[in-house]
Amino acid sequence: MDNSQSELIYKNTRLEQELSQVRQQLELLKDSYEKALNEIERLEGIISTLPKDVLPQDITIDTDTGTRLLRFKMATVMYVDLRGYKSNNNEPRTQSGVDELDQIIIHFAEIAAAHNLQIIKTIGDAFMCVGGIPEKNITNPVDIVMGAMEMVRYAKQQRTEASDNKFWELRIGIHTGPVIATVSGKKKFSYDIKGETVNIATRMAAAAEHDKINVSVYTYELVREYFVTDYNGVTPVKYHGDLEMYYIRRLRPALSVNKKIGEFPNEIFKIKYALRQFTDLQESILDKLERELPKTLYYHNYKHTIDVVNEAELIGLSEGLDDGDILLLKTAALFHDSGLIIGFDNHEFYSTQFAREILPKWHYTDEQIEKICGIIMATKLPPNPQNLLEKVICDADLDYLGRADFIPVSNTLYEELRALGKDIDINTWNKKQVAFLSTHQYFTATAQRLREEAKESQIERLKKLIVDDAPSQS
């Protein structure tokens, strides 16, 4: 065999080796690709099992362990330190004391559930819960403090009823901030939380006196309009320096049933709380409108709803409505066009059906819901409002008639009607607008003062756009 043949055999061998290596790499890539597809399917399956309320939160999934981590920007953590079983004789804890602790923890869990709080864990003499997860909400600092006050009342009651003068020392610490929640379980979810917010809550409890609710300055700023507080100095916290603390004493007199004691909320508190909660309700309904309203509703879209809610509040306040009426008015404005999800004709009635279905879940009373539905029906054209609230929403719904942006807003309504199959040209539309504006009237003194004069100028603007000899279509 000569050198040329040997060299050729050598090259062929090398090529076969390289080809074999390439095939192996392709197999590895194929395996990796299939594993990646399987992992994607697995993660999608995990995410599909999560409650819808947590899906808008940032989600991280550890692909090695399958652990689901949810990041919440604002949650409020309560740490309850029971500090062991005490007695006048410093007796060691007995089985009856352990049983009593179990009963206390069970009752605390019931209190937490009643205030929409998530129980995190109970270790020994400690109890921890959190507001704002898994359903993010703006009321969680108030919910936590109300729950804490009820826990303190329960502990005091147990002490009063104890025949052997034995008691648990109760200290509560509360802090508001971001948390990372670890989710486990498939059908019934359980949560654990970690992060700086948890650590600060435990520091607040450690700095609290017996039977006191100690909150950080962050929580204090979010709840001070509801509660009477006492300044409790500062405590050093890593990365925060000296963090200010406050004791929660009681509900403010104006917000409590018994103004002297301040334990239980009155109707004024409930309205104030509902107005704060409205932010969450509004976010939920606007999200529904954005997802489910027909895309051809260029005028009656979620932006119009926002506009009516804002204008209804402004007019209502100017007309001297109290907080209870403002709540009814804003809620009616939020729902007034939701029925367009079902259909254009008779959508006001469908809107009331949505309100009756959804609002009980947000703790609106039957009486409130009936009033809200009446306000919604007042927006049906031609308007015929029977009371001030109905007059306000009618004016808010057609507020654009007297605004500088009337022409562009009116054009979106024209495009919407065209999309719904109305055969009408722009010239005919402008004539109809002039006729409508000429007969329309605002009902409230506020709207008449702010919009009536500008509405008259709109008529003149429209007349200039009308071409007299243009073909007319109805």
**Which helix (H) or strand (E) element contains residue 5?**
helix 3-49
pLDDT at 40: 44
Q: Over the chain, what is the mean pLDDT?
A: 85
User: Is the pLDDT higher at 355 or at 258?
Assistant: 355
What is the average per-residue pLDDT within 443-458?
A: 91
- Band the pLDDT of 348: cuts 50, 70, 90: very high
User: How would residue 420 be classed by pLDDT, with cut points 50, 70 and 90?
Assistant: confident
The percent of residues in the chain predicted with pLDDT above 70, rounded, is 81
Q: What mean pLDDT comes out for the span 134-152?
A: 95
For residues 27-42, average pLDDT: 57
Tell whether the model's pLDDT for residue 51 goes beyond 50: no
The pLDDT of residue 284 is above 80: yes
Cα atoms in the Cβ-side hemisphere of radius 13 Å centred on 369: 16
Q: Give the Cα separation of 97 and 85 in Å (integer).
A: 7
What does the pLDDT look like over 70-108, one tens digit per residue? 889 899 999 999 875 554 445 545 556 567 778 888 899
- State the alpha helices, DSSP H only, in 140-236: 140-161, 196-206, 217-223
Of 359, 361, 143, give the one whose Cα is nearest residue 375: 359
Number of H helices, E strands in the chain: 14, 11
Mean of pLDDT values over 10-31: 71
Does residue 30 surpass a pLDDT of 70?
Answer: no
CA distance 161 to 375: 51
| CATH 1.10.3210.10 corresponds to the domain 271-465 | yes
Full-model pTM: 0.79
In terms of DSSP bridges, do strands 85-86 and 167-168 run parallel, antiparallel, or are they unpaired? antiparallel
Domain residues of the chain, as ranges?
A: 53-265, 271-465
Give the span between the Cα atoms of 213 and 267, in whole angstroms.
24
Q: Find the mean pLDDT for residues 52-75.
A: 65
- In which element (H, E) is residue 445 found? helix 445-465
pLDDT for 151: 95
| Domain 53-265 shares a fold with domain 271-465 | no
Average pLDDT for 351-355:
97
Domain 53-265 is classified in which CATH homologous superfamily?
Nucleotide cyclase, GGDEF domain (3.30.70.1230)
More confident position, 158 or 330: 330
Helix H or strand E encompassing 174: strand 171-184
Q: Minimum mean pLDDT among 60-69, 129-138, 387-396: which range? A: 60-69
SS (H, E, C) 389-438: HHHHHHHHHCHHHHCCCHHHHHHHHHHHHHHCCCCCCHHHHHHHHHHHHH
Token pair of 5, please? 């043949």
Best-predicted range by mean pLDDT (59-73, 178-192, 228-242): 228-242
> pLDDT digits over 150-202, tens only?
999 998 887 777 655 566 788 999 999 999 888 876 666 778 888 899 999 99
- Check whether 474 has a pLDDT greater than 50: no
